[in-house]
Amino acid sequence: DQQVKQNSPSLSVQEGRISILNCDYTNSMFDYFLWYKKYPAEGPTFLISISSIKDKNEDGRFTVFLNKSAKHLSLHIVPSQPGDSAVYFCAASALQISSGSARQLTFGSGTQLTVLP
């Protein structure tokens, strides 16, 4: 099951520069996309989301871009800080009438971001 893919297992950037994390999906029924950050021994922490009716959503240093035709989204972090070092998960959700809008999340495999001081 590869409905959500994060092809880069790791990414290193210098402090102050831009971090770009990528995610691809195959299921056209996905209508919401979310990014989570995860530190070791902790649960995923919600960062930012985007609806499929938008192509961009911004929250402080974090911006998510959605390209529906390419089934691709990306998370931009500007400027990157050492505290941003974590695993970043892309997740997607589809409205399924049969399950009463349960909206399970389908996760990618994650990208380990390391921000170097």
Nearer to another protein, 42 or 117 (CB): 42
Nearer to another protein, 17 or 56 (CB): 56
Q: Please give the helix or strand (H or E) that residue 84 lies within, else none.
A: none
Going residue by residue from 79 to 98, which x/- string records binding to another protein, judged by CB under 8 A? ----------x-x-x--x--
By CB under 8 A, tell whether 105 contacts another protein.
Answer: yes
* Interaction residues for another protein, span 20-79 (CB under 8 A): 32, 34, 36, 41-46, 49
Q: What is 4-53 written as a DSSP string?
A: EE---SEEEEETTS-EEEEEEE--TTEEEEEEEEE-TTS--EEEEEEETT
By CB under 8 A, tell whether 8 contacts another protein.
Answer: no
Residue 49 beta carbon to another protein: minimum distance, rounded to whole angstroms: 6
Nearer to another protein, 25 or 89 (CB): 89
Phi, psi of 104 (to 5 degrees): -60, 155
Long-range contact set of residues 59-63: C-beta below 8 Å, sequence gap at least 24: 62/35
Residue 4 beta carbon to another protein: minimum distance, rounded to whole angstroms: 8
Q: Are 31 and 94 in contact (CB under 8 A)?
A: yes
User: Which residues, in sequence order, are CB contacts of 51 under 8 Å at separation 6+?
Assistant: 31, 32, 57
* Binding residues vs another protein (CB under 8 A): 32, 34, 36, 41-46, 49, 89, 91, 93, 96, 99-100, 102-110
